[in-house]
Amino acid sequence: MKALPQDDRRRRFELLALPHLDAAYNLARWLAGNTADAEDVVQDAYLRAYRYFDAYQGGNFRVWLLTIVRNAFLTWVKENRSGRMVFVPDTPVADNSESHATLWGETPRDPESLLLESVDSQMLSRLMEQLPAEYREVLLLREVEDLSYKEIAEITRIPIGTVMSRLSRARLSLRKLWLRQEETEAAHGV
């Protein structure tokens, strides 16, 4: 790729990278577990992406960028968590959203429905935080970011079969956690 003048390079990077800022932040937030650390990871990832922008050879920019976010997170973990947070491959979970904008022509939902949706979204977020990091990662990339198995495999650098296996286990674990939460709430009359 021919070297671009600095302003053209910067502008091209902004045009390609800024539309994916929310996706990058979502991934970092779910991996890091909190807002402040996610912001640090995303900032580092965008700096890395800009620094190595000349190495980008075309293709799906979103996948390229999310791969950098994931790698920045892994580096951040090594530097800041010293072993407290690790990815453990395929460890089963022990048995112990966004609001939707009203579409044109669709009648607005009543406040009770919106409240229930908000409560469910908050519970889903809490339950997802209980999943191992490698499960949260593939679940987020598939269900929230709507990436294909192939794109997830590229980002995580694991085989597609492992992506599918982790996704299946993540969904099963999340379902068990959800049902357990509902049973607990029913037993306490919530």
**Domain CATH number, residue 123:** 1.10.10.10
Banded model confidence at residue 182, pLDDT cuts 50, 70, 90: confident
Q: How many structural domains comprise the chain?
A: 2
CATH of the domain at 52: 1.10.1740.10
61, with CB counted inside 10 A (0-12, 13-18, 19+), is middle
In a domain, 91, yes or no: no
Kindly report, residue by residue over 95-128, the tens digit of the pLDDT: 443 334 433 334 445 555 555 555 567 777 788 8
In a domain, 48, yes or no: yes
Confidence (pLDDT) at 116: 55
Confidence (pLDDT) at 189: 73
Judgement on whether residues 123 and 180 belong to the same structural domain of the protein: yes
In a domain, 86, yes or no: no
Q: Is the pLDDT of residue 13 over 70?
A: yes
Q: Is the pLDDT of residue 93 over 50?
A: no
Q: Distance between CA 7 and CA 9 in Å, rounded? A: 5
Judgement on whether residues 64 and 116 belong to the same structural domain of the protein: no
In a domain, 174, yes or no: yes
Kindly report, residue by residue over 40-79, the tens digit of the pLDDT: 999 999 999 999 998 888 889 999 999 999 999 989 988 8
Judgement on whether residues 126 and 179 belong to the same structural domain of the protein: yes
In a domain, 85, yes or no: no
> Tokens representing 34?
């909190």
Confidence (pLDDT) at 105: 38
Confidence (pLDDT) at 185: 80
Domain that holds residue 56: 6-80
Phi-psi region of 83 (alpha: psi -120 to 50; beta: other; left: phi over 0): left
Q: Distance between CA 182 and CA 188 in Å, rounded? A: 10
Q: Tokens 């990058």 label which residue? A: 24
